[in-house]
Amino acid sequence: MAAPIAIHLEFGGGAELLFEGLKEHRVTLPSQLEPWDMKQLLVWIQRNLLKERPELFVQGDSVRPGILVLINDADWELMGELEYQLQDQDNIVFISTLHGG
Amino acid sequence: MAAPIAIHLEFGGGAELLFEGLKEHRVTLPSQLEPWDMKQLLVWIQRNLLKERPELFVQGDSVRPGILVLINDADWELMGELEYQLQDQDNIVFISTLHGG
Amino acid sequence: PLTVKPALSNEDIMRYSRQLLLPELGVKGQLKLSRTSVLVVGCGGLGCPVAQYLAAAGIGRLGLLDYDEVELSNLHRQVLHGEENQGQAKALSAASAVRRLNSTVECVPYHLQLSPENALQLIQQYDIVADCSDNVPTRYLVNDACVLSGKPLVSASALRMEGQLTVYNYRGGPCYRCLYPVPPPPETVTNCSDGGVLGVVPGIMGCFQALEVLKIASGQGSSCGQQLVMFDAQDARFRSIRLRPKQPGCAVCGENASVTQLLDYEAFCGSAATDKCRKLNLL
Amino acid sequence: PLTVKPALSNEDIMRYSRQLLLPELGVKGQLKLSRTSVLVVGCGGLGCPVAQYLAAAGIGRLGLLDYDEVELSNLHRQVLHGEENQGQAKALSAASAVRRLNSTVECVPYHLQLSPENALQLIQQYDIVADCSDNVPTRYLVNDACVLSGKPLVSASALRMEGQLTVYNYRGGPCYRCLYPVPPPPETVTNCSDGGVLGVVPGIMGCFQALEVLKIASGQGSSCGQQLVMFDAQDARFRSIRLRPKQPGCAVCGENASVTQLLDYEAFCGSAATDKCRKLNLL
Ligand SMILES: [Zn+2]
Ligand SMILES: [Zn+2]
C-alpha cells in the first residue's frame, strides 16, 4: 500500500485555460496499492480537474502533441515519461507551446 | 566543536572582479569551537579569497555600502545580517549594486 | 492633469486590439493606461525601450527627460535615436521617435538635468516614475523625490552583462534608501562609460521596466515591490530575491525621517550626477 | 559571403566603444559580429527588437523577411514601424528603420513568404537564423531548413503574457522536431490575433533572442541549447528547463532521418502559414 502523496501541479502557455484559468494546483493523490506514475496521474487529472474538452489536453493515454511536460524542472523525456513514479512534493508542469510572435 | 561546513559563495554585479573574475566559489569552512556566523565568514573571505584591495569589499566589520548580501535568495537583513549562523550547504551571494543605464 | 478619456475611439480599438483581448488588460485596463502619466528619467540604454513600449501600449502622457545629446557611442544601445540625430538633445530625439510610433500619446520632452531644484515640481505632475538614469546621485535624488511626492518608482540598471530591477516606494514596500542607506564610496562605482555594457542588456531590462510600469498603470499591480530581479546575460539567468521591508529607521521614508526636502546629492554621494566624468579623465 | 573586415574603422571604435570594453566581446568579438550574417524570419513583435538590437550591435548582414504589410493593430508591439509606414511592406519598413540606426550594417529586406521552395536557398546564405514567425507551419519549415543546412536556430515565441525561448540545432543539441515530433492539433493552437498579446512581452523575448544570437555570433556561445526559457509576465518570473537531448529517432535530425528535403508544411500541420486565417473567420 503506497501512502497518499502531495504534489504541485502547474499549467501554463494557455493550458491553464482548461483548468478554470488556475495556473497552480496543490493536490493530494490518495493512497493506492501501487506507487503513482505519470500515466495514472493523467487519468486522475482528467477525472478530477479537467471539467471539459479533454481532447485539448490528452490524446490516447498521453498528453496531446504541443504540450510539454516537466517533472521538477526537467523535460519528462529525461525522467521516464509515462512510467515515471511520482514522489511526494514533486512539481509537475504542463506547458502549451507558444507560436505567436 | 562545530563540524566543518560546505557553503556556496557567489559574487556578482562586478564584485566578482575582486575574486579573480570567478562568480562561483564552493568552499569548506573548517571545524571550530562555535558555529560559523556571517561576521566570521567575512573575515575568512578576506583572509582566504580576497587577494587585494579589501576596502572595495569590506568596511569595518561589515560589507561596504553598495554591496547587497543574500542568504539563500533572501536579503540578509531578513536573516539577522552579521549574526546569522551559517548552515551546511548555504548559498551566500554578494552583489554590487549597478547604476548604469 | 490628464484629460479623462471617457471611452476608446474606433482607432484606439483597432490599434490596441491585440492587447484589448487580454483578460488582464481589457478595455478597462486600456483606459487606465490612457489616464496614466509616466516620467522617464534618462533617455539612454534603458529609457529608449521604456519610452518605446510605453508609447506603443498607449500610456496617456510620457515625460522624457535627459540633459544630454546623442553621440555615436550611444547608438549601440540607445535604439530610439538614429545616426541623423547625433548632436541633437536626446529628449527631443526620443520624443520624435515616439511620436512616429504613436501620435496619440502626449509626449513631453525635457532637455534638462534633474536637480534638487526642479525634481519635485516635475515628478508631482506624473503618476509613475521610471528611473533610467546612469549615476548614483540621480538615483538618490529620484528616490527621495518619489518618496516625498508619494509616487511609485520603477528602477532598473545595467552594466557589462548584468542588470537589476526593483519597484520602490510601492504598496508599503521599501525605498531605495531602505536598501542603501549609505551611498557607495565613489571609487567603487563603475559606470557604462568605463565598465562597458552590451547594448541588448539595458534593452532587456528596459522592456522589463516598461512591463512593470504597465502592470502598475493598468491596475494589475507589480510583482517586483520588495523584490530584486537580477539578470545575468552570460548564463541567461534571471533570479528574484526577497528584499527587506520598508525600514522604520529610513532617513526618507522612515518614522522619523530626517530628509524632508531634497538635498545636494552630488555632495552626499561624493560624485557628479553624470556618467561622463571618468570618461573625460580618461581621454 | 560577407567581405571579411580586416580591422575596425575609427568610426566603428567610437560607435562600439562601450561594448568593446567588455572582456566577453572586445575587438575580436566585434570583428566576429561584423563577419556574421543573421536571417530574421518575421518582422513582427519579436522580429522588431531582434533586428533593432542586432543592427545596433554591429552584426555584418541582416536579412529581414516578412510577407506582410504594416497595419495599425501591429504598432502596439512592432516598434520598428511607425504610423506613416501603414500599408508598407514590413520587411522594407524594418529595413529603413534599421538603416537609420546603423547604416554600416548590410540590410537585406525580403518581402515574401518563406516557403519550402525558397527556404533552403535563403537560409544557406546566412550563419544564424532567428525564428520570429507567428505560426506552426513556418516553425517546422524553419526548423527543417536549419537542420538540412546546418544552421543554429534561435527561436522565440510569445502569446498573451507569456514567452518561450530555445536555441535549436546547436552544438549537438535537439531540434524543434526532437521536442515536437507531431504538430499540435490545429484547434488547440492560439495565435496573437485571437489570443492577444501584451506588446512588451515579445519585446522582452525578442531582446533575449538578440542576446543569444550575439553570444553565438561573437563566439561566447549560447547557454540556451537544450534549454527552454519560459517567461511569465504576470508574476515577472523566468524559468529555465533542461530539455531532452537530440533524439536518435527524430525525423529530420535523427540517425535515419526520413525528412531529407522540405515538405508541404501547411498540409503537415493542417493549418495555414499565417496568423490571420482565424481573424478572417471571426470578422
Ligand atoms: Zn526608505
Ligand atoms: Zn531533431
Cell (9 digits) for D157: 515565441
Cβ distance of D199 and C77 shorter than 8 Å: no
Nearest listed ligand to the Cα of residue D244: 2
C-alpha to C-alpha distance for B87 and B84, rounded to whole angstroms: 9
Residues 208-247 of chain C with CB under 8 A from chain B are 228, 230, 232, 239-244
Q: Which domains does chain A have, with CATH numbers?
A: 5-88 (3.10.20.30)
Name residue C87's amino acid.
Answer: G
Q: What is the DSSP letter of D89?
A: B
Q: Calculate helix-pair angle for D200-217, C200-217, nearest 10 degrees.
A: 170
pLDDT band at C234 (very low <50, low <70, confident <90, very high): very high
- Residues of D within 8 A of C199 (CB-CB) are 18-19, 53, 56-57
The answer to whether residue D283 scores a pLDDT higher than 50 is: no
Phi-psi region of B60 (alpha: psi -120 to 50; beta: other; left: phi over 0): left
**Which protein residues have their CB within 5 A of the ion that is ligand 1?**
C 175, 177-178, 250, 253
> CB-based contacts of D92: which residues, under 8 Å, 6+ apart?
D109, D111
Cβ distance of D156 and A99 shorter than 8 Å: no
- Residues of C within 8 A of D53 (CB-CB) are 79, 199-200, 203
Q: Are C133 and C88 in contact (CB under 8 A)?
A: no
Q: What is the mean pLDDT of residues D35-43?
A: 98
Cβ distance of B101 and C232 shorter than 8 Å: no
Q: Which of D101, D204, D25 is nearest to C195 (CA)?
A: D25
Q: Which of D187, D191, D232 sits opposite A100 (nearest CB)?
A: D191
Which SS3 state, helix, strand or coil, does residue C62 take? strand
Cβ distance of A12 and D243 shorter than 8 Å: no
Cβ distance of C53 and D194 shorter than 8 Å: no
pLDDT of residue A83: 97
DSSP H helices in chain D: 10-15, 17-20, 26-34, 47-57, 90-101, 119-123, 136-149, 176-179, 192-195, 200-217, 265-269, 277-282
Q: Calculate helix-pair angle for C200-217, D47-57, nearest 10 degrees.
A: 140
Name residue C86's amino acid.
Answer: Q
Q: What angle do CA B90, C160, B77 make, to 5 degrees?
A: 35
Substitution target from C188, C228, C240, C243 for chain B, most B beta carbons within 10 A: C188
Digit-coded pLDDT (tens) for A23-45: 999 999 999 999 999 999 999 99
Q: What is the mean pLDDT of chain D?
A: 94
What is the distance of C-alpha B91 from the center of its chain? 9
Distance C178 CA to ligand 1 centre (A): 4
Q: Cα torsion at C73, C79, C85, C87 (round to 10°)?
A: -40
Q: Which of C200, A55, C226 is nearest to D56 (CA)?
A: C200
Query: How large a percentage of chain D has pLDDT more than 70?
Result: 96
Shortest CA gap D224–chain C (Å): 7
Cell (9 digits) for C245: 521591508
Digit-coded pLDDT (tens) for C49-67: 999 999 999 999 999 999 9
The answer to whether residue D128 scores a pLDDT higher than 70 is: yes
CA distances from D189 to A30, D45, D75 (A): 34, 18, 23
Query: How large a percentage of chain C has pLDDT more than 70?
Result: 96
Q: Are D58 and D33 in contact (CB under 8 A)?
A: yes
Digit-coded pLDDT (tens) for D60-77: 999 999 999 999 999 999
C-alpha to C-alpha distance for D110 and D96, rounded to whole angstroms: 13
Helix and strand numbers (H, E) in chain D are: 12, 8
Kindly give the pairing relationship between strand C37-41 and strand C128-131: parallel
pLDDT band at C236 (very low <50, low <70, confident <90, very high): very high
pLDDT of residue C10: 96
Q: What is the pTM of this model?
A: 0.96
Burial class (CB in 10 A: 0-12, 13-18, 19+), A11: buried
Cell (9 digits) for B94: 554578494
Burial class (CB in 10 A: 0-12, 13-18, 19+), C6: exposed
* Secondary structure in 3-state letters for chain B: CECCEEEEEEEECCHHHHHCCCCEEEEEECCECCCCEHHHHHHHHHHHCCCCCHHHCEECCEECCCEEEEECCEEHHHHCHHHCECCCCCEEEEEECCCCC
pLDDT band at D1 (very low <50, low <70, confident <90, very high): low
Name residue C235's amino acid.
Answer: D
Which chain C residue shows the shortest CA-CA distance from B18? Answer: C188
Q: Which of C242, C126, C233 is nearest to C179 (CA)?
A: C242
pLDDT of residue D11: 96
C56 touches chain D (CB under 8 A): yes
The answer to whether residue D278 scores a pLDDT higher than 60 is: no
C-alpha to C-alpha distance for D202 and D273, rounded to whole angstroms: 19
Q: Which of D157, D152, D145 is nearest to D118 (CA)?
A: D145
Handedness of CA A78, A79, A80, A81 (dihedral sign): negative
Distance D74 CA to ligand 1 centre (A): 41
Shortest CA gap D226–chain A (Å): 10
C-alpha to C-alpha distance for C150 and C128, rounded to whole angstroms: 9
Which SS3 state, helix, strand or coil, does residue C275 take? coil
Phi and psi at residue C27, to the nearest 5°: -65, -40
C201 touches chain D (CB under 8 A): yes
What is the distance of C-alpha A41 from the center of its chain? 6
The answer to whether residue D279 scores a pLDDT higher than 50 is: no
> CB-based contacts of D134: which residues, under 8 Å, 6+ apart?
A99, A100, A101, D42, D44, D191, D192, D274, D275
Shortest CA gap D18–chain A (Å): 30
Residues of chain B with pLDDT under 50: none
pLDDT of residue D281: 37
Digit-coded pLDDT (tens) for D68-119: 999 999 999 999 999 999 999 999 999 999 999 999 999 999 999 999 999 9
Burial class (CB in 10 A: 0-12, 13-18, 19+), D99: middle
pLDDT of residue C282: 36
Residues 15-54 of chain B with CB under 8 A from chain C are none
pLDDT of residue C281: 37
Distance C169 CA to ligand 1 centre (A): 8
Q: Are A89 and A28 in contact (CB under 8 A)?
A: no
C-alpha to C-alpha distance for D234 and A45, rounded to whole angstroms: 25
More confident residue, D252 or C274: D252
Q: Are A100 and C18 in contact (CB under 8 A)?
A: no
B97 touches chain C (CB under 8 A): yes
Query: How large a percentage of chain D has pLDDT more than 90?
Result: 90
Residue labelled with grid coordinates 496531446: A64
pLDDT of residue C194: 81
